[in-house]
Structure 1
Amino acid sequence: MRILLINPEYDGSWFQFHPLKKTFSVYASGVSPPLGLLYIATILENQGYEVNLIDNDALKWSDDESLRFIEENRPDVVGFSILTASCHKAHRLAKKIKKRYPGIKILYGGPSSTTYPERLMKKYDFVDYLIVGEGEYTTLNLIRELETEQNLKSVRGLVYRDDEIIVFNEAGSPIRDLDDLPFPNRSFLKTNYDLSLSWGDFKVRFTVGKYTGMLTSRGCSNSCRFCQTWSNHNGWRGRSAKNVVEELELLEGQGYKHVFFVDDNFSADKKRVFEICKLIKERGIKVYWSVEMSVENGSYEMFKAMKEAGCDSILFGFESANQRILDYYCKRITPELSRKTVEDARSAGISCVIGTFLLGAPDESYEEAKRTVDFGLSLDLDALILFSLSVKPNTPIWNEMKEKGYLTDDFIEKRWETSHINVYELHSKLSKKEIDNLIEDSYTKFLWRPKYLAKHFYRNLRYGFRRKWMAKNLRAIAPFLKASLKTRMMK
């Protein structure tokens, strides 16, 4: 049986540095390989199936190009990974495939399929099967049943049609031992990735050599009220340090120079972090790597070990400078701890420290939001990222908005596959304009502080990673700084 897996192209921008003037939208499209599909493709291939993978978020193929590929390869099943940002293009192509090749089975998986399985099956009659939850073994079991007796009732995590009836099978179980998964076979990929963001007509690359993403854990041990990861109730599951480092060693042998660990919380198991760092050093692996991690798990000793093992950058979710808002989010941190974490990472020699913040909690005042912005500007960060708080399905804030009558079924029906719903659309003391103004002002101030510029220049000279990064990006950074300076002078 032949299977084609497709990662559709995403729509829209990640965020805008100047949301009011609509300048320099940052597009995070096609910047990292689709690891979920890679795992599925690898498992299917290991079982003897013929598999192809199209990452259209990177390749940007037209529908006609994708259809030509299908004509040439004649798959029996075409599977799509569905996100809010990519669902419209997925639906459009899937509908064309089913019309031209009625015998091809259309399979949907991914976050949107897990969140809205019934809505998707009811609205799109060209979808034959839908996977809820982790897709590796549900996909494999479905393919096996399609190939033999088609006993679909036995496939846990599957949604399908039995004549006109939508059938929901028993939920699948999350994979508890991630070491059982094979390493993703990146030879399925038809392009190279560089973790780049497009600023206007230019592209800024955050890598310094051949790059890929890598997953060392799934889930999260925290319980932030805005986050879907822990709301899925699968808990945090980590690969063993030995298993992680073996894949990293394999990637180094394949010529990779930079790896981003895409875990939601790399440092949930502190002991494992130290073990990973120890093994990397023992094996002499020379690869730059970057992570996202929780503030409360870090320490100077951990950051030092990470730095010595090749970690070049860390992204932290600080979210707010107000303890009341942090408590509302169920963040187990304080502003003081956030500041200390940045200081510890700097003292340990981490070359790039990035912080994210959220504005617009339901009862957050303008003064509190402004305090968060000022707090972010006061930290020794290389990049400051500000988001307007959105409500995501099945999270505690989503449920709160529903219970209080701010988020109605009619509203959800209009928006469930279009975009994230911002809190300011439902119930907030802050308007969209106020939030956009704060974001716009903060980026301009952040970039043009003399102390920041001096430190940035010094670190670009001091750290090998940053020297290489700067050399690759001078052409792209210059016009952005020019536009930011112009905005600053207009105020």
Structure 2
Amino acid sequence: MKVSLIFPKLPETSTFIGTVKEAEKYSKDKIEFYGFPPMGILYLATYLREKNFDVSILDQFARGYSVERTLKWIKQENPDVLGFSTITTAGTGIISAEISRRVKEEINPNIKILFGNYHATFNDRRILEKYPFVDACIRGEGEKTLLEIAEKVEKDQNFEEIKGLTYRDNGRIVRNDDRPRIENMDTLPFPDRNLLGNVEYKNTVEGLELSVGKFTSAASSRGCAFQCSFCSSSMFWGKWRPRSPENIIDELSILEDQGFNNLLWVDDNFTISKKRLLKLSDLIRKEKFDFNWMAEGRVTQSSKELLNAMKQMGCKILSFGVESGSQRLLEWYNKKITLNQVYDAVKNSKKVGIDMILANFIVGAPIETREEIIETLNFSLKLDIDFPQFHILGIIPGNWIWDQMVKEKKINPDDCWEVGTAVLPIPLSEIMERIRQTHIKFMKRPSYISRQIAKTLKSRYRQKAVLQNIKNIERWDIWNSWKPFWG
């Protein structure tokens, strides 16, 4: 009995960017990928293997495999169950469907094909209605659901009792009850990154490689305590469920033994519990771990005490979800923050010495005016941050904005459920040009350049990152990454 899991590559039309370097070009034994490991299928695969199932993983995105090469891999693995991790905004459900069709037609019609992750959770019926070769969709957290599927397939039994599953039964689509989420996160095994094979992942921000050393990602919690209107996390993961500091320390010890010293915490909000972070900081310093790491924080949870503890435990890059320079938009996004709190969070981060401070912004909301877009872009120039990151608001199934736009008949869900859409207040070309001009203005300010030089002279981490990027400049696509902003 074998289960194979695939993290699909992105369609050419996707706005996501990843850079793959061929193994034979730069190294005899590894593939370099500028992105981070697919933690979802890593958790699933490790969980199944702990239950004595044979499991394999293909990160098609990182390896850059074509559909043909992926089909060859599937044929070699010869799985009984084949699962795809699908994301709406990346459009990976479409390429997963194409691979699935050919698997059934060309390899083995008896392989059970599953879709999971956000796209499958919020589009389960639509997927099964459109693609008859997909057997089931796992909704939400997948470890226990996938385990029960594997057990049922092994015993040649049907799926009628499996919670969290929508499946096909003799031409009929059946949607079982939701599965309760795992309450104790410490019961999950640590994801085994060796399952990813010879892929070496790299962390990048604005085209610059910032993983100084061996890099991976990790999750210290699942879920979110907030319900931003543009986000699907709380509907997918439910309430915030943390791992204990002691459990995290145990995983960090393993990662240290494996040579990792750079981490990206993929939590939706790493700073949600001050008490937990302070204890984790104490334990990390006690164990004398030497990790450089990046995380996302919330501006309302950015006291100097908390940020200083993060600095002491190795935080080099902190990214804030600012989203807008308009208080009206922040309220529409249900962010529950103020612009003054944004200023305070950035100021406190600078005071404690966080090496790199990022801020994420969203523009293009349906209710946004041209003046508010300009207000947000200008707000990025007022903050003492190292890089602004701008995003066009994507409207996808699973969040409040999608439901609202469907209710107001501003979108037809039948037209855009597979890749999402946008309802822009002004032309996209104008928004992109304004973003480009803001990037140019941001980077070319003499005060910004002088601050960056001063920070780099004081930061050993930043110095290493600069030297690394100079050394590797011909090995990756920094200039093309920045080209849209510099013209």
TM-score of the two chains, using structure 1 as the length reference: 0.90
Greater shift in the superposed pair: 455-464 or 177-186: 455-464
Q: Is the Cα–Cα contact under 8 Å of residues 295 and 341 in structure 1 kept in the other structure? A: yes
1:183 equivalenced with 2:154 (yes/no) = no
State the SS of the aligned residue for 2:202: coil
Q: Is the Cα–Cα contact under 8 Å of residues 28 and 198 in structure 1 kept in the other structure? A: no
Q: Is the Cα–Cα contact under 8 Å of residues 13 and 27 in structure 1 kept in the other structure? A: no
What is the distance in 2 between the residues matched to 1:229 and 1:245?
Answer: 25
Q: Is the Cα–Cα contact under 8 Å of residues 436 and 486 in structure 2 kept in the other structure? A: no
Give the structure 2 partner of residue 193 of structure 1. Answer: 201
Give the structure 2 partner of residue 141 of structure 1. Answer: 148
Q: Which residue, out of 338, 343, 346, partners 1:342?
A: 346
Give the structure 1 partner of residue 8 of structure 2. Answer: 8
1:397 equivalenced with 2:401 (yes/no) = yes
Q: Which residue, out of 431, 440, 446, partners 2:442?
A: 446
Give the structure 2 partner of residue 413 of structure 1. Answer: 414
**5+ residue gaps, structure 2:** 21-32
CA change 1:399–1:486 in 2 (3 A) is: closer
Instruction: Give per-residue Cα distances to partners, 1:405-458, cap 9 Å, x unaligned.
Output: 212xxx2212211x331121xxx3x33233222211111111111111111122
Q: Is the Cα–Cα contact under 8 Å of residues 26 and 198 in structure 1 kept in the other structure? A: no
Instruction: Give per-residue Cα distances to partners, 1:106-152, cap 9 Å, x unaligned.
Output: 11111111010011101111111221111111000111111125142
Shift in Å at residue 28 of structure 1? 7.0
Give the structure 2 partner of residue 93 of structure 1. Answer: 99
What is the distance in 2 between the residues matched to 1:305 and 1:354?
Answer: 19
**5+ residue gaps, structure 1:** 16-24
Give the structure 2 partner of residue 79 of structure 1. Answer: 83
State the SS of the aligned residue for 2:409: coil
State the SS of the aligned residue for 1:390: coil
Which residue identity does 2:187 align to in structure 1?
D
Q: Which residue, out of 449, 455, 459, partners 2:451?
A: 455
What is the distance in 1 between the residues matched to 2:120 and 2:484?
Answer: 40
Shift in Å at residue 478 of structure 1? 7.6
CA change 1:124–1:105 in 2 (3 A) is: same
Equivalent positions of 1:92-491 (< 5 A) are 92-100=98-106, 101-148=108-155, 150-190=157-197, 191-196=199-204, 204-232=208-236, 234-407=238-411, 411-417=412-418, 419-424=419-424, 428=425, 430-474=426-470, 475=473, 479=479, 487=487
Greater shift in the superposed pair: 60-69 or 160-169: 60-69
CA change 1:149–1:68 in 2 (3 A) is: closer
State the SS of the aligned residue for 1:193: strand
State the SS of the aligned residue for 1:154: coil
Instruction: Give per-residue Cα distances to partners, 1:144-172, cap 9 Å, x unaligned.
Output: 11112514211111122211111111111
Greater shift in the superposed pair: 182-191 or 229-238: 229-238
State the SS of the aligned residue for 1:277: helix
State the SS of the aligned residue for 2:377: helix
Q: Is the Cα–Cα contact under 8 Å of residues 397 and 420 in structure 2 kept in the other structure? A: no
CA change 1:63–1:393 in 2 (3 A) is: closer
Instruction: Give per-residue Cα distances to partners, 1:75-104, cap 9 Å, x unaligned.
Output: 111111112322222112111111121122
CA change 1:160–1:357 in 2 (3 A) is: same
What is the distance in 1 between the residues matched to 2:112 and 2:184?
Answer: 30
Which residue identity does 2:203 align to in structure 1?
L
CA change 1:345–1:136 in 2 (3 A) is: same
TM-score of the two chains, using structure 2 as the length reference: 0.91
Greater shift in the superposed pair: 188-197 or 303-312: 188-197
What is the distance in 2 between the residues matched to 1:339 and 1:171?
Answer: 41
State the SS of the aligned residue for 1:102: coil
What is the distance in 1 between the residues matched to 2:111 and 2:386?
Answer: 49
Equivalent positions of 1:24-39 (< 5 A) are 26-27=17-18, 31-39=35-43
Q: Percent identity?
A: 33
How many residues are treated as equivalent by the alignment? Answer: 466
Shift in Å at residue 184 of structure 1? 0.4
CA change 1:314–1:486 in 2 (3 A) is: closer
CA change 1:336–1:65 in 2 (3 A) is: same
Greater shift in the superposed pair: 40-49 or 346-355: 40-49
Q: Is the Cα–Cα contact under 8 Å of residues 461 and 467 in structure 1 kept in the other structure? A: yes
Instruction: Give per-residue Cα distances to partners, 1:172-194, cap 9 Å, x unaligned.
Output: 11111111100001110121101
Q: Is the Cα–Cα contact under 8 Å of residues 318 and 357 in structure 2 kept in the other structure? A: yes
Q: Is the Cα–Cα contact under 8 Å of residues 4 and 51 in structure 1 kept in the other structure? A: yes
